[in-house]
Structure 1
């Protein structure tokens, strides 16, 4: 299917641009991923929670790196799973 630039069914008019505040990226090694993104793209570190989670400032959007295990950390309870299509799903909430 070729993208035509139109939604079916059509959506109403869009008055304000979308702002994405947080993008979560599951990673096998939070420390290695953090060093890669900081070294490669020059993003700034906002917050690190051990080997469980790191938040990077990607110019107004938080790029969050989440470790691979379901875990209770000092700030959250989190589970990582894959849907039937292979997409990673992360469910988390405050502790």
Structure 2
């Protein structure tokens, strides 16, 4: 399996505004993108720190690694074949194709690929 690019850590929040304030004003991470009151992405340098409420979080309450890949289905299958599991089979949201998996220790991973519009 090739062509993976770990780019994002997704954190849970119950209050997006408060979390954005902490990560941007206190920790100095510029806001890159915001989607309503349920998702925001901040510039953490070489990694994006995403904040998501239960509405948009792939596994609410867990820290999840986001990995960009051109083949979401193949990546999910590879993790499953290695002893992990698929929590959400591949689906399209407003911005990207995603699949949510967990590794053999229960850690969450979301594979994603931007939708071609």
TM-score, normalised to structure 2, is 0.45
The gaps in structure 2 that reach 5 residues or longer are: 59-87
The gaps in structure 1 that reach 5 residues or longer are: 1-19
Q: 1:41 deviation in Å?
A: 0.4
User: Residues 75 and 36 of structure 1: is their aligned pair in 2 closer, same or farther, counting only changes over 3 Å?
Assistant: same
- Computed over aligned residues only, the root mean square deviation of the Cα atoms, in angstroms, reads 3.1
* Aligned pairs, number: 74
Larger-Rg structure: 1
Q: Is 2:25 aligned against 1:39?
A: yes
Q: 1:34 deviation in Å?
A: 2.8
Q: How do 1:46-85 residues align onto structure 2 when only pairs under 5 Å count?
A: 46-50=32-36, 51=38, 53-58=39-44, 60-65=45-50, 67-69=56-58, 72-85=92-105
CA distance in 2, matches of 1:93, 1:21: 12
CA distance in 2, matches of 1:55, 1:22: 11
1:91 is aligned to 111
Q: Which runs of 4+ in 1 moved over 6 A?
A: none
